[in-house]
Amino acid sequence: MTRQLKVNPITCQAHGLCAELLPELIALDEWGYPIITDEPVPAALQTMAKRAVSVCPTLALTLSQRAPRSPPSRSP
Partner 1 sequence: MRVQEQPQLLPRLLAGLSTPGRVDLDAHLDQHGELPTLVRYRGRSRASSALDEIERAGLLGRGGAAFPTAAKMRAVAGRRRAPVVVANGCEGEPTSRKDRLLLERLPHLVLDGAAVAAAAIGAREVFVCIDHGAVRARTALEHAVRERRQYADRSMSVRIVGVPGGYVCSQESALVQFLNGGPAKPTIVPVYERGVAGRPTLVDNVETLAHIALIARHGAEWFRGLGSPAHPGSTLLTVGGAVLRPGVYELDPAMTVAELVDAAGGVREAVDAVLIGGYAGAWLKAPQSRSLHLSHEPLAAAGASLGPGLLYLLDSDTCGIAEIASVARWMSDQTAQQCGPCVNGLAAIAQQLEAIVAGRADRDAARRIERWCTLVPRRGACAHPDGTTRFVSTGLHTFEHELADHIAHGPCELCLGPRRLPVPRPQPVAVAA
Partner 2 sequence: MILLTLSLVLGVAGAQRLRVTRVPRFVVDSLHRTASLLAVTFLLVHILTAVLDSYASISLTDAIIPFVGSYRPLWLGLGATAFDLLIAITITSLARLSLGLRVWRAVHWLAYACWPIALVHALGTGTDVPSTWMLAIGGACLLAVLGAVGARAFAERQRHPRSARAAVATAIGFTVALALWLPGGPLGPQWARRSGTPAPLLHSAAGRLAADHAVEPA
**What is the spatial distance between Cα 17 and Cα 22, in angstroms, rounded to a whole number?**
9
Among 5, 25, 41, 53, binds partner 2 (CB under 8 A): 53
Among 16, 28, 33, 40, binds partner 2 (CB under 8 A): 16
Cβ proximity to partner 2: between 55 and 70 the closer is 55
Q: Which of 52, 18, 51, 58 is nearest to 34 (CA)?
A: 18
How many residues make contact with partner 2 (CB under 8 A)?
12
Q: Which residues bind partner 1 (CB under 8 A)?
A: 8-10, 12-14, 29, 31-33, 35, 71-76
